[in-house]
Amino acid sequence: MAIITTYPFKKDPLSKNDEIIISDYYSNNPKFKTKITNVETLSKFVISISNFVFTQSVPSDTWVIQHNLEKFCSVTVVDSSRQVCVGDVTYDSLNQCTITFSAGFSGQAYLN
């Protein structure tokens, strides 16, 4: 299990340049045993893994998106011409949503 802390230890407030030490006691790979980064880099990483891009390659008026982000995401849809399109979003669960449009088209949905 990973342990994440600042050095020197600091409760708050943290600044973007504060160093973060990440140590994984159970890691079998010495390269990953202990790493040092900063709050800004760690924040960017967390944000990058909290996004999902869905591609609907076959035109359809209903897109069912399994994103596995464990949240009710904000959704932006663009068609194949990169024009923003509006549809009705239904949150089926924390990991899936369905978007219904008035006509079928292909494009991408950006979820975060």
pLDDT in tens, 56-98: 999 999 999 999 888 999 999 999 999 999 999 999 999 999 9
Question: Of all residues in the chain, what percent carry a pLDDT higher than 70?
Answer: 80
C-alpha R_g of the chain: 20
Indicate if the pLDDT at residue 34 is higher than 50.
yes
Residue whose tokens read 């008035």: 102
- pLDDT confidence tier of residue 5, bands split at 50, 70 and 90: low
Question: Which contiguous run of DSSP H or E holds residue 46?
Answer: helix 39-48
User: Average pLDDT in the 9-32 region?
Assistant: 72
